[in-house]
Amino acid sequence: MKATEEAFLERCIPEPNTGCWLWMGGFARSGYGILVLDGAKHRQLRAHRYSWMLFRGDLPDDLVIRHYVCANKACVNPAHLRHHFTKLTDIQVAEIRARAAAGDRRVDIAASYGITPDYVRELARRLVRVPLLEAVALYDPDAAARLASEEAP
Ligand SMILES: [Zn+2]
């Protein structure tokens, strides 16, 4: 696990009543948690945006992350976050993976969707944009089990 991931996960505390993952690191004046990257003060990320990147995939510039479930700015539970707006829909991501699996060239796929060939590779290898439960299970099987039971009808 990368140092930044460890630093992030060490600073989250699950709150059993709300399901929020409370951020125990530093905060910006705006009320959002801050994660310092590589120990460098000038390299900072909003903790909830980092959570999104870690569990849900990449974070394009056109993506706005909102606390949809809890409205708690200190919460970094990826299940409580929703994106506002993104370049690729889930359907397009599935199409890209299918084309990559079928052997289409990455440069051709990239050109069709206006993304980079590197990003096509990351999507195809499921390094980004993996379903939430799958991603959470990698880090916290108990949390994944709780989420699965919450989502069941
Ligand atoms: Zn929350």
The residues whose Cβ lies within 5 A of ligand 1, an ion, are 20, 70, 72, 75, 77, 80
22 C-alpha to ligand 1 centroid (Å): 8
More confident residue, 125 or 44: 125
Residue 80 CA, ligand 1 centroid: distance in Å: 5
CB 73 within 8 A of CB 31: yes
Q: Evaluate if pTM is beyond 0.85.
A: no
Domain C-terminal end among 68, 84, 100 = 84
Residues 75 and 8 in one domain: yes
| Å from CA of 19 to ligand 1 middle | 6
Q: Residue written as tokens 């600073």?
A: 11
Domain total of the chain: 2
Q: How far apart are the first and last CA of the chain?
A: 34
Q: Give the domain range for residue 13.
A: 3-84
Span 19-40, pLDDT tens digits:
999 999 999 888 889 988 766 6
Q: Which residue has the tokens 């706005």?
A: 64
**What tens digit of pLDDT does each residue of 74-129 get?**
999 988 887 655 568 888 989 999 999 999 999 999 888 877 787 888 889 887 77
